[in-house]
Amino acid sequence: MKQQLAGVYTSKRKDGSTYYRASLTYRNKHISLGSYSAASDAHQVYLSASALLQDSSITLNQYQPDSLLSFDKWVCLLNFRDNGIYFATPIYIRPKFFYYYFSPTDFFIFDTEDLFYYSSRKISHRGNHYFVADYGMQINIMSRYGIKNYAVEGRDYRFINGNNHDFRYENIEIINRYNGVFAVTHKGSTKYQVKIHVKGNVTVGTYQSEVEAAIAYNKAIDILKKAGVNKAYTPNYMEDISPVVYADLYASIKVSSHLTDYRSE
């Protein structure tokens, strides 16, 4: 493999065509900067990356969209320069949290305890759906923080500081944790109303606690199934109560008698 311009290496594809790889070594770490069809482009990327690592005055806001050095790599190199840690994902560490960048003005904020998870997983998105590939599955970012797929911001959860890109745990408040369960306030007290969708939303009942309401939703699912309603409802799962307590509550909780009126078409 013959080296030409600084930081540029010539390689061959399987079809015999030539391309050029850019790379550099910084703090004893070899860093690949990408592959290019022209040697001059690879060299320019090498020069840009070298300047970024050597000049502490260069900041994220100086990134230009037409730069040959990718934005993700720009962030990775900045973090390595300033924090001494190289990640393959576009993360920049702060003392108690870190940024995960998509562009200079678009980023998520995470707690430091999530650093190991996101340093090894790339966040992808389609519209407002952000996800990571985890063991061959697409995992919704929201689910990691207890926010269910059907959840509605402001009704089921909220970001306390109003920034829905700030996923620090202290900034996320889960209002409704269970399927079909909604907190309602009446005369200053909070109760939990349960609704289930059949041919529209059907009120199952109103209960004193979230757990009772969650079990009522499960009971409604069972009643509808026995009535022949074949819908893929997702039952609630409760980790904090024993099977005996669950069974006692299930038996004692009353649900709407109108559920038995529904039949599959």
What is the reported pLDDT for 49? 96
**pLDDT tier, 263 (very low <50, low <70, confident <90, very high otherwise):** low
Of 135, 152, 173, at which residue does a domain stop? 173
pLDDT higher than 50, residue 218: yes
Decide if 2 is inside a domain. no
Decide if 72 is inside a domain. yes
Decide if 133 is inside a domain. yes
Q: Nearest 5°: phi and psi at 143?
A: -65, -25
What is the reported pLDDT for 20? 94
Q: Find the domain containing 236 and state its range.
A: 181-261
**Domain count across the chain:** 2
pLDDT digits (tens, 9 = 90+) for 52-71: 999 999 999 999 999 999 99
pLDDT digits (tens, 9 = 90+) for 144-157: 998 888 788 988 89
**pLDDT tier, 43 (very low <50, low <70, confident <90, very high otherwise):** very high
The larger pLDDT score, comparing residue 238 to residue 263, is at: 238
One domain for residues 208 and 138? no
Give the angle subtended at the CA of 262 by the CAs of 258 and 263, to the nearest 5°: 155
Q: How far apart are CA 126 and CA 129, in angstroms?
A: 5
pLDDT digits (tens, 9 = 90+) for 219-236: 999 999 988 888 888 899
118: its two tokens: 């996101």
What is the reported pLDDT for 2? 52
One domain for residues 47 and 24? yes
Of 152, 173, 194, at which residue does a domain stop? 173
In the chain, what percentage of residues exceed pLDDT 70? 98
Of 173, 197, 231, at which residue does a domain stop? 173
